[in-house]
Amino acid sequence: MANQVIKKSGSQEPFSEEKIKNSIKAACKDAGLDEAKQNELAESITQKVLEMIKDKDTVTALEIREKVLGELDIMAPSAAAAWRNYETTKAK
């Protein structure tokens, strides 16, 4: 399984399952989803990310982002919109 994430800047950091879950929960919370749904989506999508990276040594932050957003687009479009909105406002 990938244990290093290559960030946009080119720097690397250890892979963190918790970081992915927390990001998903934050997007779900911003979208107004209840805590049970936040936890359910965080667990489900994190498992899909883990499946995607199981045969890799490294993974890019962009690959993780694309997988998470792809799943959110299907399971919780409002949370995907909240994620993208956060990225837009953070970039300014």
Residues 6+ apart with CB under 8 A from 65: none
Per-residue confidence band for 47, with pLDDT thresholds at 50, 70 and 90:
very high
Cβ atoms 5, 58 nearer than 8 A: yes
pTM: 0.93
Say how far apart CA 20 and CA 68 lie, in whole Å: 8
The tens digit of pLDDT for each residue in 2-21 reads 889 999 999 999 999 999 99
